[in-house]
Structure 1
Amino acid sequence: MPSATTLRSLLALLTLAASATFALSPPPPPVKPPPPIAPPMPRFIVPDAGQPLTLQRVQVQATLAGAQAQTRLELVVRNPNPRQLEATLEFPLDAGQSVVGFALDIRGEMVAAVPVPKDKGRQVFDDISRRRVDPALLERTAGNNFKLRIYPVPPNGERRVMLQLAETLQPNAHGRLQYRLPLNFGQPMAQFEGRFDLRGGTRILPAGALAGVETFARGDQTSMQLQRRDWQPREALALSWAGSGGDNVVVQEHLGQVYAYAELAAAEGARGPARLPRELNLVWDASGSGAERDHARELALLDALFSAARDVRVHLTVARDAAEQERVFDVRGGDWQALRRTLQQLPYDGASSPATWYAGLAAAPSGSGTMSLLFSDGLATWPDLGGQPPAGPVFTVNAASRADLPRLRRLAETSGARLLDLTRMDTASAFTALTRPGLQVVDVKGDGVEGIEDVVIESLHPENGRLAIAARLTVVTGRLLVTLTDGQGRRSQRRIELRAPTESPASDEATLPLAARRWAELRVAELSAEQQRNRAQIRRLGEQFRLLSAETSLIVLDELADYVRYEIVPPTAAMRATYQQMLAQRGASRQADRERHVDGLVQRFKQREAWWAKTFPLEAPPVAEARPTAPLPPVAPAPVRPSIAVPSQAAKAAADVARPAPIAPPPAPAEMRMAAPPAPAPAMASMAAPALESVAVTGSRRAREEDAGTAASPAAASIALRAWEPNAAYVRRLREASDGERYAVYLDERPGYLSSTAFFIDAAEIFFAKGQQALALRVLSNLAEMELENRHILRILAYRLLQADQVALAVPLLERVRELAPDEPQSSRDLALALAPTQPQRAVDLLWDVASRPWDGRFADIDLIALTELNALAARTPRLNLSRVDARLRRNLPLDLRAVLTWDADNTDIDLWVTDPDGEKAYYAHRLTRQGGAMSRDFTGGYGPEEFSLRRAKPGRYEVRAQFYGHNQQLVSPYTTLMLWLSTGFGTAAQKDERSVLRLSGRGDQVLVGSFEVEAPAAGASK
Structure 2
Amino acid sequence: MKNPIALLLLILSFQFSFAQIPIIETPLKGGDYQVSNNVVLQKLSYDVKITGNISTTIATMVFRNNTSRIMEGRLTFPLPEGVSVSGYALDINGKLRNAVPVEKAKAKEVFESIEKRNVDPGILEKVEGNNFRTRIYPINPNSERTVQITYNQILKKVENNLQYYLPLDYTSAIPNFNLKTSVFEKINTPKLEEKPDGSFDFVKNGNVWVAEISKSNYKTTGNLKINLPQNENESSVLMQKASGNNFYFLANVPVNSISKAKKMPETLGIIWDNSLSGLQRDHAKEFELLDEYFKAAKNITVQLAFINNEFEERKTFKINNGNWQELKTYLNNVNYDGGTDFSQLKNLNVDEYLLFSDGLSSFGDFNFNFNKPVYTIVSSPKANFSQLKFISLKSGGELLNIHQNHPNQEVRKLLFQNLKFLGIKDNHNLAEVYPKLPQNAEDNLVITGISDTDETSVNLLFGYGNTPVVEKMIFLNSKESTTKDWDISKFWAQKKISELELFEDVNKEEINNLGKQFGIATNNTSLIVMENVQDYARYEILPPAELRKEYDVMMKSGADLRDKRMTDLMKQAENMTENLKKWWNTEFKNEKKYPQPKSKIILNDSVRTQNIEEMVVYSSDADYSSSPPPPPSVDRVTENESRAELQEVVVQGYTRSESRRQTASASRTVSSEITMSRPNANVLNVMEGKIGGVNVSIAKGKITTIDVKSDQEYMKSFEKLNTAESIYAEYLIQRKNYLQTPSYYLDISKILFQAKDKKLGLKVLSSVADLDIENEELYKLLYYKLKEQNINDKQVWISKKILDWRPMDPQSYRDYALALEDDGKPQEALDYLYQILTKSYTQELANRDDGIEETIIMELNSLISRNKGKLNLSKINPKLIADLPVNIRVVLNWNKDNTDIDLWVTDPNGEKCMYSHKQTAIGGRLSDDFTGGFGPEQFLLKKAIKGKYKIETNFFGENQVSISGPTAILAEIYINYATGKQERKLVVFQKQKKSKEGNGDGVLIGEFEF
TM category, shorter: 0.7 to 0.9
Q: Secondary structure at the match of 1:148?
A: strand
Q: Contact 1:611–1:671 at 8 Å: present in 2 too?
A: no
Residue in structure 1 matched with residue 827 of structure 2 by the alignment: 841
Q: Contact 2:777–2:895 at 8 Å: present in 1 too?
A: yes
Q: Distance in 1 between matches of 2:182 and 2:437?
A: 27
Residue in structure 2 matched with residue 905 of structure 1 by the alignment: 896
Amino acid at match of 1:554: L
Q: Secondary structure at the match of 1:233?
A: coil
Q: Distance in 1 between matches of 2:691 and 2:457?
A: 69
Amino acid at match of 2:487: P
Q: Distance in 2 between matches of 1:756 and 1:299?
A: 29
User: Deviations for 1:812-855, whole angstroms, at most 9, x for unmatched residues?
Assistant: 22111112111111111111111125332222222222234454
Residue in structure 2 matched with residue 884 of structure 1 by the alignment: 875
Decide which of 1004, 1007, 1010 is 1:1011's aligned counterpart. Answer: 1007
Q: Secondary structure at the match of 2:448?
A: strand
Decide which of 336, 339, 343 is 1:348's aligned counterpart. Answer: 336
The answer for unaligned runs of 5 or more in structure 1 is: 1-37, 665-669, 679-704, 1015-1023
Q: Contact 1:40–1:401 at 8 Å: present in 2 too?
A: no
Deviation at 1:212, TM superposition (A): 4.0
Corresponding position: 1:415 with 2:395: yes
Q: Quick one: structure 1 residues 272 and 608, their matched pair in 2 at CA, closer, same or farther if it must change by over 3 Å?
A: same
Residue in structure 2 matched with residue 8 of structure 1 by the alignment: none
Corresponding position: 1:449 with 2:438: no
Residue in structure 2 matched with residue 481 of structure 1 by the alignment: 459
Residue in structure 1 matched with residue 412 of structure 2 by the alignment: 432
Q: Secondary structure at the match of 1:101?
A: strand
Deviation at 1:605, TM superposition (A): 2.5
Corresponding position: 1:513 with 2:500: no
RMSD: 3.5
Q: Distance in 2 between matches of 1:959 and 1:735?
A: 28
Corresponding position: 1:313 with 2:301: yes
Corresponding position: 1:383 with 2:330: no
Corresponding position: 1:41 with 2:20: yes
Q: Contact 1:85–1:153 at 8 Å: present in 2 too?
A: yes
Which residues of 2 match residues 218-229 of structure 1 at below 5 A?
Answer: 218-229=205-216
Decide which of 120, 126, 129 is 1:140's aligned counterpart. Answer: 126
Q: Distance in 2 between matches of 1:143 and 1:212?
A: 37
Q: Secondary structure at the match of 1:711?
A: strand
Deviation at 1:706, TM superposition (A): 9.6
Q: Quick one: structure 1 residues 73 and 972, their matched pair in 2 at CA, closer, same or farther if it must change by over 3 Å?
A: closer
Deviation at 1:296, TM superposition (A): 1.3
Q: Contact 2:238–2:483 at 8 Å: present in 1 too?
A: no
Q: Quick one: structure 1 residues 467 and 637, their matched pair in 2 at CA, closer, same or farther if it must change by over 3 Å?
A: farther
Q: Distance in 1 between matches of 2:401 and 2:212?
A: 33
Residue in structure 1 matched with residue 469 of structure 2 by the alignment: 491
Q: Distance in 2 between matches of 1:583 and 1:396?
A: 56
User: Deviations for 1:748-792, whole angstroms, at most 9, x for unmatched residues?
Assistant: 111211221111110111111111111111111111111211111
Residue in structure 1 matched with residue 975 of structure 2 by the alignment: 984
Amino acid at match of 2:936: P
Q: Distance in 1 between matches of 2:437 and 2:125?
A: 23
Deviation at 1:419, TM superposition (A): 1.2
Deviation at 1:350, TM superposition (A): 1.6
Q: Distance in 1 between matches of 2:918 and 2:635?
A: 20
User: Deviations for 1:559-615, whole angstroms, at most 9, x for unmatched residues?
Assistant: 11211233322112324413543788456976xx63x44334323332221111100
Q: Quick one: structure 1 residues 487 and 978, their matched pair in 2 at CA, closer, same or farther if it must change by over 3 Å?
A: closer
Q: Quick one: structure 1 residues 522 and 565, their matched pair in 2 at CA, closer, same or farther if it must change by over 3 Å?
A: same
User: Deviations for 1:463-482, whole angstroms, at most 9, x for unmatched residues?
Assistant: 4x212233345666544433
Q: Contact 1:254–1:512 at 8 Å: present in 2 too?
A: no
Q: Distance in 1 between matches of 2:777 and 2:480?
A: 51
Amino acid at match of 1:348: Y
Q: Which moved more, 1:931-940 or 1:234-243?
A: 234-243
Q: Quick one: structure 1 residues 133 and 554, their matched pair in 2 at CA, closer, same or farther if it must change by over 3 Å?
A: same
Deviation at 1:176, TM superposition (A): 1.8
Residue in structure 2 matched with residue 31 of structure 1 by the alignment: none
Q: Distance in 2 between matches of 1:588 and 1:634?
A: 40
Q: Distance in 1 between matches of 2:527 and 2:357?
A: 29
User: Deviations for 1:656-688, whole angstroms, at most 9, x for unmatched residues?
Assistant: xxx999xx9xxxxx998946899xxxxxxxxxx
Which residues of 2 match residues 434-583 of structure 1 at below 5 A?
Answer: 434-441=414-421, 443-449=422-428, 452-453=431-432, 455-457=434-436, 460-463=439-442, 465-472=443-450, 478-486=456-464, 491-499=469-477, 513-514=487-488, 516-572=489-545, 573-578=548-553, 580-581=555-556
The answer for unaligned runs of 5 or more in structure 2 is: 1-16, 28-34, 599-610, 614-631, 657-665, 675-688
Residue in structure 2 matched with residue 869 of structure 1 by the alignment: 859
Residue in structure 2 matched with residue 209 of structure 1 by the alignment: 196
Amino acid at match of 1:398: V
Deviation at 1:634, TM superposition (A): 11
Residue in structure 1 matched with residue 152 of structure 2 by the alignment: 166
Q: Contact 1:379–1:404 at 8 Å: present in 2 too?
A: yes
Q: Contact 1:841–1:881 at 8 Å: present in 2 too?
A: yes
Residue in structure 1 matched with residue 378 of structure 2 by the alignment: 398
Q: Distance in 2 between matches of 1:588 and 1:279?
A: 62
Aligned length: 914
Decide which of 85, 89, 96 is 1:110's aligned counterpart. Answer: 96
Q: Contact 1:828–1:846 at 8 Å: present in 2 too?
A: yes
Amino acid at match of 1:733: S
Deviation at 1:340, TM superposition (A): 1.2
Which residues of 2 match residues 365-376 of structure 1 at below 5 A?
Answer: 365-366=349-350, 370-376=351-357
Corresponding position: 1:798 with 2:783: yes
Q: Contact 2:633–2:912 at 8 Å: present in 1 too?
A: no
Q: Secondary structure at the match of 2:227?
A: strand
Q: Contact 2:634–2:917 at 8 Å: present in 1 too?
A: no
User: Deviations for 1:278-337, whole angstroms, at most 9, x for unmatched residues?
Assistant: 211110011111111111121122223333333322111111011113322223343322
Q: Distance in 2 between matches of 1:747 and 1:757?
A: 15
Corresponding position: 1:621 with 2:592: yes
Q: Quick one: structure 1 residues 398 and 454, their matched pair in 2 at CA, closer, same or farther if it must change by over 3 Å?
A: same
Corresponding position: 1:125 with 2:105: no
Which residues of 2 match residues 640-655 of structure 1 at below 5 A?
Answer: 640=639
Decide which of 293, 304, 311 is 1:323's aligned counterpart. Answer: 311
User: Deviations for 1:14-64, whole angstroms, at most 9, x for unmatched residues?
Assistant: xxxxxxxxxxxxxxxxxxxxxxxx985251535359752234433332222
Q: Distance in 1 between matches of 2:790 and 2:558?
A: 47
Which residues of 2 match residues 210-249 of structure 1 at below 5 A?
Answer: 210-245=197-232, 246-249=234-237
Residue in structure 2 matched with residue 729 of structure 1 by the alignment: 713
Q: Which moved more, 1:386-395 or 1:949-958?
A: 386-395
Q: Contact 1:706–1:988 at 8 Å: present in 2 too?
A: no
Q: Contact 2:343–2:368 at 8 Å: present in 1 too?
A: yes
Q: Secondary structure at the match of 2:114?
A: helix
Q: Distance in 1 between matches of 2:712 and 2:25?
A: 24
Q: Which moved more, 1:764-773 or 1:631-640?
A: 631-640
Q: Distance in 1 between matches of 2:119 and 2:831?
A: 36
Q: Distance in 2 between matches of 1:488 and 1:530?
A: 21
Name whichever structure is richer in strand by fraction: 2
Q: Which moved more, 1:532-541 or 1:807-816?
A: 532-541
Percent identity over paired residues: 29
Q: Contact 1:981–1:993 at 8 Å: present in 2 too?
A: yes
Q: Quick one: structure 1 residues 253 and 886, their matched pair in 2 at CA, closer, same or farther if it must change by over 3 Å?
A: farther
Which residues of 2 match residues 34-113 of structure 1 at below 5 A?
Answer: 40-41=19-20, 43=22, 45=24, 47=26, 51-113=37-99
Q: Quick one: structure 1 residues 635 and 937, their matched pair in 2 at CA, closer, same or farther if it must change by over 3 Å?
A: closer
Q: Secondary structure at the match of 2:975?
A: strand
Q: Quick one: structure 1 residues 282 and 641, their matched pair in 2 at CA, closer, same or farther if it must change by over 3 Å?
A: farther
